[in-house]
Each structure stands twice: as C-alpha cells, then as structure tokens.
Structure 1
C-alpha cells in the first residue's frame, strides 16, 4: 500500500524512510483509521477529505499525520 520516500524519520533503532501513499490511498487509510476510532462513515469521510486536502496543499502538519 505504501512506498518509502526520501524523507527519513527517527526511530529507536535509527533512521527509517517515511512511508508515502498515493492520493486515493491516503484518503482511504485516513477514513478507515477514523472509522476504527469510532467515527461514523459520514464523519470519517468528511474529516479524511479535509486532512487529505491539507496534505495536498503542503500543510502536512495539519494533514493525515496529525
């Protein structure tokens, strides 16, 4: 589902590459996570779309990772 980008992240073991997702995957993953946390399908869709949109315009700190 994901692939590694060139952006490293730090773990207890050292540096790892940050996984990246294609646009449609990002929305699906976000929606599933939100539903798993108890959001309704409608709520999850709206929030996932907004988080995905933040990523698309370069505001990753307010995107899906949040």
Structure 2
C-alpha cells in the first residue's frame, strides 16, 4: 500500500502515463478521501509494476525530506 497525498499528486499524475497499465488502472479506480488515494499494489515479480512502485516510493521519500 502506498498513499498519494496532495504533495505528491501533481508529480505522480505527470508520471502516471509512463507507468504500467496496472498502476494506472489502480490509481484511476481508487476513490480519493481526505485529498489522498490509498493504492493497494500487489508486487509478485521484479517486473514493470515493481519498477514503477520504486518510482512512487522515491516520490514519497523526496516529499517527506523537503
């Protein structure tokens, strides 16, 4: 699970079209609450979803440091 909050939303949505269709689908079908989306992402292999999740976590980490 990863949370996309207001601080990450703009950058995340810019990168979303480059991400795996499964990530795009999860994001588009997740309802927003309190200006956040809680994404439940299953990672089974080191595939594109895995790489996209690393990118998402990097976005989250950078926003917390600043």
Is this a same-fold pair by TM over 0.5? no
Higher-RCO chain (CA-CA 8 Å, sequence separation at least 6): 2
TM-score (structure 2 length as normaliser): 0.30
The structure richer in strand per residue is 1
TM-score, normalised by the number of residues in structure 1: 0.30
The structure with the larger Rg is 1
